[in-house]
Amino acid sequence: MPTPLDTLNASFGLPGTLHFDEAAPGLPVAHITTPLASASIALQGAQVLTWQPTGQQPVLWVSKAAIFEEGKPVRGGVPVCWPWFGAVPGKPMHGFVRTRLWQLRGAELDAPGQVVLRLGIGDDVATHSLWDHAFDLELTVTVGSTLTLALTTRNTGTQAFEITQALHTYLCTTEITQTTVQGLDACHYLDKVQDFAPYQQSGAVTFQSETDRIYTDTTADSLIVDAAGGRNLRIAKQGSASTVVWNPWTDKEKTMADMASGEFHQMLCVETCNAGPDAVSIPAGGAHTLVAIISVE
Ligand SMILES: O=P(O)(O)OC[C@H]1O[C@@H](O)[C@H](O)[C@@H](O)[C@@H]1O
């Protein structure tokens, strides 16, 4: 009797390039190795966990204390927050798809040598109890010398619905106090550390304390300048009107069981979003695609 893992390997494995194992029982992970890059992607949450272009240090950050358990969010990589971003009273933080098992719909090696995975999830009784809409959600992950995530929301119901969402990207940095984010100068933001007070950015974003901001009405690339590491990361985006920048700093880090002490120094999140006032309305039968393209410069 083949296990679900045997079936994944038999149906989608690409010898020498793509195989599946489990991070914990019931948590399958796709492992990709090509001449261009290596990566791993958990089927729970369709969560890209790691991506490392050949010749580079890892780009995505995962906590040493991350918890790999069915139904629990994983602290790192790129969680998909959907159909809401942030807190909704009485409902799971950041929506419900990051803790559910997605289906692998396709895996192929394209002409330039990138691996393209398609993962999907649809509505069922459990999702209707949290959010009463019919939908199909598909994430296409293209792993090469750049990493591209494209999240397509299809409204398969008969009435329009509204979503907020994020490709909640955790990035490695060498030292947060020497890291800046360019591309958000003059943008308006809501400061979650100050109860969503509105501000306007002046110059690059710098980090000296807990930082949790929703930059609204911005389609610009973000350039993460890791001065201590001597490299820049670029996140370009499409279908996204907001960018969230987050670092928990000392006190908040202490409240999180799945972050090890002092790890906030080596990470930050720059999230490709439609959040806060940038909610997206999708008519019955309509679709919307949110894209993040991550590269090292
Ligand atoms: O701990 P979670 O649910 O993964 O959320 C992490 C952070 O995610 C960020 O996107 C939010 O802006 C923060 O407020 C939040 O703390």
The complex scores an ipTM of: 0.98
User: What six digits make up the tokens of 38?
Assistant: 């290596």
Q: Is 249 in the pocket of ligand 1 (CB under 6 A)?
A: no
Is 162 in the active site? no
pLDDT in tens, the chain (297 residues): 889 999 999 999 999 999 999 999 999 999 999 999 999 999 999 999 999 999 999 999 999 999 999 999 999 999 999 999 999 999 999 999 999 999 999 999 999 999 999 999 999 999 999 999 999 999 999 999 999 999 999 999 999 999 999 999 999 999 999 999 999 999 999 999 999 999 999 999 999 999 999 999 999 999 999 999 999 999 999 999 999 999 999 999 999 999 999 999 999 999 999 999 999 999 999 999 999 999 999
Q: Is 246 in the pocket of ligand 1 (CB under 6 A)?
A: yes
User: What six digits make up the tokens of 173?
Assistant: 């940095």
Q: What is the DSSP letter of 46?
A: T
Q: Which fold has domain 4-296?
A: Beta-galactosidase; Chain A, domain 5 (2.70.98)
Residue from 167, 212, 157 nearest 47 by CA? 167
Is 290 buried (19+), middle (13-18) or exposed (0-12) by CB count in 10 A? buried
| Tally of residues, the chain | 297
Regarding pTM above 0.90, the answer is yes
User: What six digits make up the tokens of 45?
Assistant: 């949450």
Q: Is 98 in the pocket of ligand 1 (CB under 6 A)?
A: no
Q: What is the DSSP letter of 60?
A: B
Q: Is 168 in the pocket of ligand 1 (CB under 6 A)?
A: yes
Site to probe by mutation for ligand 1, drawn from 169, 212, 245, 247 as the one with most ligand atoms within 8 Å of Cβ, is 212
CA 257 – CA 127 distance, rounded (Å): 27
* Residue 252 CA, closest ligand 1 atom number: 16
Site to probe by mutation for ligand 1, drawn from 168, 191, 268 as the one with most ligand atoms within 8 Å of Cβ, is 168
